[in-house]
Amino acid sequence: MTIGIWILGDQLSQQQAALQSCANQQNVPVIFIESLQYIQARPYHQQKLILIWSAMRHFAQELRQLKYSVTYKIAEDFTTPLQAWVEENGITQLRVMMPNDRPFSQIIQNLDLPCEISLIPNNHFLWNTAEFNNWASGRKRLLMEDFYRAGRRRFQVLMDEDQPIGGKWNLDKENRQPPKGKLNTPPVKWFKPDQITLDVIAQVKSLKIPTYGNLEPFNWGVNRHEALQVLDWFIQHRLSNFGTYQDAMVTGEETLWHGLISPYLNIGLLQPLEVIQAVEAAYKQRQLPLNSVEGFIRQVLGWREYMRGIYHFVDADYPENNWFNHSQPLPEFFWTGETEMNCLHQILTQVQRTGYAHHIQRLMVLSNFALIAGIEPQAIENWFHAAFIDAYDWVMQTNVIGMGLFADGGILASKPYAASANYINKMSDYCKSCVYNHKQRIGENACPFNFFYWDFLHRHREQLKSQGRMSFILKNLDKMSPEELDAIRQQAEDWHTKN
């Protein structure tokens, strides 16, 4: 039997399962394919294309140095180069590590190759699909907090025997401080493009297909060595203050103390357990604040693993969920950033420049606006998938359809994350430089987040009554006159007509 390995663009690790299955064999044929057809599914951010293709080329170079027989193809589709490579190398079994995304699994199933295709279980997560399904099956609720605690116990992270270090599982209440005064944020660990990356930039620049975002400056890391530098930089310079201000949003501060690690985790350049263990070791060696350490570990050990687990646990039609029956089209300014709402303008232009925004910018501004404005869930999910450098099907289906838009009716979140301008004013400085008044609900200067918020609650009151955590908020509708609610509804409708 002659084995060949196909490595996908988000599986760039020497420890990945397909490579490990052939660890004792010499000169194993390996193929990488850049498919020009595949990237036309949506107008992807140009910097994401650069990241993936450059990282693939760097990893191919790494494997050549380890004496693998590497073939690298740029082609229209996957099938044509795979067929030629299989025949040239006399391959009888093609091994591929199981893709994270359902659509790519379908691509592999539809391949017509003159050899056996063997899918090797994915090992880039702490919980495999079977383990997560075993945890989730039979539960009345699938709360992330329950899963997170199970993960802490299972992997003995921040534990004192069977109890959490510090006596509490979750220190989130300490991690919601609004920005105050001069923050003195540390610089970002960026990199200058090498020749491989410059070649990729030129290739992306020459594409004749729709893309999104700025091509340059491109400053992301593209190999494991650089990804490890980003992790070390985060631990040395950012981790200590990460927790306290992780929900803050500040004009001109694109990253604050965030790690910018997700793009590297999501393509295999970093592995979740090594990230968690490095952070925990730094906590013990340097007595770093527990709220920062626990808050970060909860994102990797809890949220990231949970989102991927839910993605494979729910039915295949999950992406079509639309619990509120929202049908408004995606406003054009999501693509251009041209809007007078300063919070949206700041974040959208940042995403254009970098492909990045931190989790509160995504959840409480971008997703929040889409939710209360009644934008179709599939339209906003498609935008998220196209726009972000760390976006994949398994990431965005659950984060946007479930968490951000509550379009699944509560499978994932315990309440809709809907908020008025009051939240944005509290957690950011965006409102200070905005033409709209964050205190006004109606009128020419009223912030759209306000009239959309109250219109959302009013329109969906009956549905929201079934969500226990919403009852207190809904009582505020009773304090508003029918005339004010009518004016709010009219202003929301007028906004959609004009936009």
pLDDT digits (tens, 9 = 90+) for 272-296: 999 999 999 999 999 999 999 999 9
**DSSP of 32-55:** EEEETTGGGTTT-BHHHHHHHHHH
Tell me how long the chain is.
499
- pLDDT at residue 309, rounded to an integer: 97
Contacts of 374 (CB under 8 A, 6+ apart): 324, 326, 327, 328, 452, 456, 459, 496
pLDDT digits (tens, 9 = 90+) for 247-267: 999 999 999 999 999 999 999
- pLDDT at residue 272, rounded to an integer: 98
- pLDDT at residue 176, rounded to an integer: 82
- pLDDT at residue 173, rounded to an integer: 85
**What CA dihedral angle connects 248, 379, 111 and 48, to 10 degrees?**
-40
- pLDDT at residue 24, rounded to an integer: 83
CA 295/CA 299 separation, integer angstroms: 7
- pLDDT at residue 121, rounded to an integer: 97
CA 135/CA 313 separation, integer angstroms: 10
Is 0.85 topped by the overall pTM? yes
- pLDDT at residue 469, rounded to an integer: 77
138-162 burial, b if ≥16 CB within 10 A, otherwise e?
A: eeeebebeebbeebbeebebbeeee
- pLDDT at residue 252, rounded to an integer: 92
- pLDDT at residue 387, rounded to an integer: 98
- pLDDT at residue 281, rounded to an integer: 97
- pLDDT at residue 181, rounded to an integer: 78
CA 416/CA 277 separation, integer angstroms: 33
pLDDT digits (tens, 9 = 90+) for 149-170: 999 999 999 999 999 999 999 9
Residue ranges of the chain with per-residue pLDDT less than 50: none
The contacts found for 428-433 with CB under 8 angstroms, 24 or more apart, are 428/178, 428/179, 428/248, 428/249, 428/250, 428/251, 428/343, 429/179, 429/249, 429/250, 429/251, 430/249, 430/251, 430/342, 430/343, 430/346, 431/342, 431/343, 433/251, 433/342
- pLDDT at residue 345, rounded to an integer: 98
- pLDDT at residue 175, rounded to an integer: 83
